[in-house]
Structure 1
């Protein structure tokens, strides 16, 4: 995935002093990080799936992001009559980080949504053509809402996994096409016909790297807390 416009947007609180920076770089030269991890150790990962299809909560270290997926029938874009749509929306709450302001999404929330959206679109993770019901008239528009519950760094990685987890469990209503013109769409209730999962080709995982010193020290998955966090599959 391409890097965001500014890493500081993702965590505006992170302003290391000169002494802190020197201490971190000296520790990294000894192949050790301030939280006890090695340079390429990932954060502890936990994924909790909700009772409803298309909902998931991700904990990456102490950062928590909840993803929720919905869908509705819309008219497709004229230049893509056979494809559905996928949109990412993010919400930053002051409860997650005092630096987040209430109200309209700030620059950080917009940038985070763009990075996640671009990663899913350019990798063609979701089959857009499978979302087409009637070419040129009715397609499914899938919406992913990402709610940042606790910001302790690595928002891109956590939000990316939350979006993928929610999309993987989402089920859209099944629909049939009929009528005199063969273009009338009937959306069936889940009690009548089982909802259908999305067609997902692969799961593109975002991984954040940082460079220290003269650029010769590379670290996986930035961590701003001081607690020891080890890799664990969710």
Structure 2
């Protein structure tokens, strides 16, 4: 059964009890205290647009590419941003090769929503020539090690 990333996860009674006990004990599975952050590391790759990010024991490789395209007719002054995620079977035995699973799609949506709602990417700044030419940005994220 594939894990769900959204806040609608159905927990068993034992899982709920484990989480409640862990919170009361100020205990985390990885040994961190309740207010400690995971260590963050970002390494830029040799290829343009590539980077490896590590947060705790979770590792991802990302690739950013861009191409000039015609804008959508209903958004003539905006470029586009597309995010694609892939869970490597090496990252977690529950991931299968092939089409992206539900977790990969959900993670892509979460990242996409986070970038859009934070306005981290100004899609209007991706416009080169109104109604004629905009940048289409593509972000590919490959999960190499899944540690939560």
Q: TM-score, normalised by structure 2?
A: 0.85
CA gap of 1:46–1:83, structure 2 versus 1, over 3 A, is same
Identify the residue that residue 18 of structure 1 maps to in structure 2.
14
Q: How many residues align?
A: 144
Distance 1:61 1:125 in 2: 24
SS at match of 2:120: coil
Identify the residue that residue 78 of structure 1 maps to in structure 2.
73
User: What RMSD over aligned residues (CA atoms) do the two structures have, in Å?
Assistant: 2.4
Is 1:4 aligned to residue 6 of structure 2? yes
Identify the residue that residue 188 of structure 1 maps to in structure 2.
none
Q: How does 1:117-136 map to 2 (within 5 A)?
A: 117-136=112-131
Larger Rg: 1
Deviations 1:179-212 (A, max 9, x none): xxxxxxxxxxxxxxxxxxxxxxxxxxxxxxxxxx
Shift of 1:18: 3.4
Deviations 1:148-199 (A, max 9, x none): 101111xxxxxxxxxxxxxxxxxxxxxxxxxxxxxxxxxxxxxxxxxxxxxx
CA gap of 1:27–1:140, structure 2 versus 1, over 3 A, is closer
Is 1:92 aligned to residue 119 of structure 2? no
CA gap of 1:5–1:26, structure 2 versus 1, over 3 A, is closer
Q: TM-score, normalised by structure 1?
A: 0.55
Is 1:58 aligned to residue 53 of structure 2? yes
Shift of 1:55: 1.4
Shift of 1:44: 1.7
Gapped runs of 5+ residues in structure 2? none
Distance 1:19 1:85 in 2: 40
Gapped runs of 5+ residues in structure 1? 9-14, 154-234
SS at match of 2:48: coil
Is 1:42 aligned to residue 37 of structure 2? yes
CA gap of 1:7–1:64, structure 2 versus 1, over 3 A, is farther
